[in-house]
Amino acid sequence: MRLLEPIEQLESKEEHLRKQVNALPENQKREFYHRQSKQLKDPDTYAALNWLFVGGFHHCYLGKYALFALEISLLTISMVGFFLGHSSALVILALLVIYELPQLFFSQKIARQYNYQLSCRIFEDVSNPH
């Protein structure tokens, strides 16, 4: 995901994809929207998960289970280390905050970029039947 991609650029890409989908034959267009409706992620839900839950639970919503496992593991290790008095625990926690903070503020864009990439894959599958 490109956090610094201008929202206008993303909107332009989304509009271009909409035009491509609308140019498909009716049966392919129906298939595209059917598949897309089952797989799209709500940007508001992703943002809420990001804002309300600590530990990377928002990654699960987008199917990034390995990233979630890594973040929750590092958070657990840092919390245990903190309670045991290890100074390195604060470093781990600080690095997690530095990594997560941009994702927190750009959560809507991240979900939209995910949906765009997903829609592109569905479009390719539908428009090029094997």
What pLDDT, on the 0 to 100 scale, is given for residue 130?
Answer: 66
Distance CA 57, CA 60 (A): 5
pTM over 0.75: yes
What pLDDT, on the 0 to 100 scale, is given for residue 5?
Answer: 87
Q: Which of 13, 31, 6 is nearest to 125 (CA)?
A: 31
Retrieve residue 91's tokens: 């470093």
What pLDDT, on the 0 to 100 scale, is given for residue 114?
Answer: 96
Split the chain (130 residues) into runs of 10 and give each run's mean pLDDT. 85 96 95 96 92 86 94 93 91 91 90 96 89
113 to 11, 30, 79, 94, 96: CA distances (angstroms): 10, 22, 32, 27, 22
Retrieve residue 12's tokens: 């332009």
